[in-house]
Structure 1
Amino acid sequence: MDPLFLAAPRVSTFLGTYALTNASGFFFERDNHLFLVTSRHVVVDQATEHRPDRIEIELHTDAADLTKSTRFSLPLYADGESLWRQGKDSGGDIDVAVIEMDRERLPAGAIVRAFSPEHMPRTFGEVPVDAPLLVVGFPLGFHDTVHHLPVVRTTGIASPYGIRFQGKGFFLTDARTHRGTSGAAVVMRDTSPGEHTSELPWKLLGVHSSRMDMGNRDLVRDESLGLNCAWYASILVTLTQDQPPPFPDGSSTL
């Protein structure tokens, strides 16, 4: 099986024992530090009063038997301070959050496949406009409930890769997505696998966030644009540095 499926755990949000929402995420490692990446609005969204205090992810524990998995809880706060890191730039807030994971707390035998900075394109020219992409996640929470694996949706690039769409730190993709896909990795097959040492033969391009639509669209006569925002994965380099610049609430900024 392609290790890509083991790099993208299902994310569930909770307030105490009360289940709130489903989302997507993926693992990212840097300098021996392991992080879970998802959308910032998964961990807090003031507009919808979504304020979970922890999340759970599913981890596989047996490479030979994918039916064996366990749920692993990650707190979102400690002593009243947020434990995730988020960012903003000249275009405003960036809808990406990272949470560092303590490897020593992981369940015995936990199988984790993680992206790293080496998986990011070195130049924008590596991503042609006709490149086939995948979004790896859990639309509406849907997944293989026996083997606890995500599904992939095929997509393409809908705005020039490397250009900030409307001045924001994202590009557009053209894919059928649903609620629950927030935080999913947007990837492209690495056709030169000899250039990296990871088991993941993929290039990490972005973090799926939300749909892009027209505010004045006629809901009766006009279909949805079917476009989505994917924040550039380069934000992860800033958010995973040893001492990210702090926000007043303890999260980080770019």
Structure 2
Amino acid sequence: MIEALLLTTVPVGTYAGEQPLTNASGFFFERDGRLFLVTSRHVLHDEATAHHPDRVVIDLHDDAGNIASATGFSLPLYRDGTPLWRQGVDAAGEIDVAVLEVERAALPPTTLYRAFSPQHLLGRLDQVEVGSSLLVVGFPLGFRDTLHHLPVVRQAVIASSFGLRFQGQGYFLTDARTHRGTSGAPVVMRRAGPDADGGDLPWLLLGVHSARLDVGGRDLVADEALGLNCAWYADILLTLTGA
């Protein structure tokens, strides 16, 4: 038995033509019969680092009877020069989350995956307390179970008031050990209450991991890194996946 949570998340490799560029994480989100790959916006396009891939490749399990069987699936990022992904903006500026629609008909018919949906999003922000235990599911430094093509999880806790946008931005902070390659990973919390053990995917999708947060004046020799990270609120997915 493979835990459903591990089947929501896939490695995302970015390419310019045949040239590999970076590795990241992403996860599936479905709404109204449509399927989307969710990742960080800077994975798909980042002016600051002159990062301009034209496609991404994700690994898909293609045989439910053999979890070690997987295939690469390429998704173009542009059509006739127009970006195919959607990204968000709010009053504070750009949101580092992007979604790319996946044509279900193009997937191998035996593809094995799980997807989050609107029912996995929080109803109210005050349902979550600071210090709550979380998981970040992804591929740090591209690391994975190479035989079974599965992600790993890192433990985290909420490190800022979940009901308040940190410094006015659309994210909250997590305290977790993360690395490059984790960008775009889902940040989840186990459901609590009467339905905690029900369903195939008993998790709440709280956020999308973006980047580590650091202090500009930190002494790189004397001071350890903060170990804090930005996770953009997952409710932006309702906007990005709307008709």
TM-score range normalised by the length of the shorter chain = over 0.9
Number of the residue aligned with 1:87: 88
TM-score, normalising length from structure 1? Answer: 0.93
Q: Distance in 2 between matches of 1:197 and 1:238?
A: 27
Q: Distance in 2 between matches of 1:55 and 1:126?
A: 35
Q: For residue 63 of structure 2, give the secondary structure of its aligned residue in structure 1.
A: coil
Number of the residue aligned with 1:63: 64
Displacement, 1:64?
A: 2.7
Displacement, 1:197?
A: 7.8
Number of the residue aligned with 2:169: 168
Q: Distance in 2 between matches of 1:174 and 1:21?
A: 24
Counterparts in 2 of 1:25-40, with a 5 A limit? Answer: 25-40=26-41
Give, as a single letter, the amino acid of the residue that structure 2 aligns with 1:182: S
Q: Distance in 2 between matches of 1:196 and 1:52?
A: 41
Displacement, 1:193?
A: 6.7
Displacement, 1:196?
A: 10
Q: Distance in 2 between matches of 1:61 and 1:154?
A: 29
Give, as a single letter, the amino acid of the residue that structure 2 aligns with 1:60: H
Gaps of 5+ in 2: none
Number of the residue aligned with 1:50: 51
Q: For residue 5 of structure 2, give the secondary structure of its aligned residue in structure 1.
A: helix
Runs of 4+ residues deviating >4 angstroms: 195-198
Q: Distance in 2 between matches of 1:234 and 1:156?
A: 19
Displacement, 1:130?
A: 2.7
RMSD between superposed Cα atoms in Å: 1.3
Q: Distance in 2 between matches of 1:195 and 1:150?
A: 23
Q: Number of aligned pairs?
A: 242
Change (3 A) 1:193 1:35: farther
Number of the residue aligned with 1:250: none
Number of the residue aligned with 1:210: 211
Q: For residue 154 of structure 1, give the secondary structure of its aligned residue in structure 2.
A: strand
Gaps of 5+ in 1: 243-254
Give, as a single letter, the amino acid of the residue that structure 2 aligns with 1:58: D
Change (3 A) 1:77 1:114: same
Q: Distance in 2 between matches of 1:96 and 1:90?
A: 15
Change (3 A) 1:27 1:196: farther
Q: For residue 144 of structure 2, give the secondary structure of its aligned residue in structure 1.
A: coil
TM-score, normalising length from structure 2? Answer: 0.97
Percent identical pairs in the alignment equals: 62
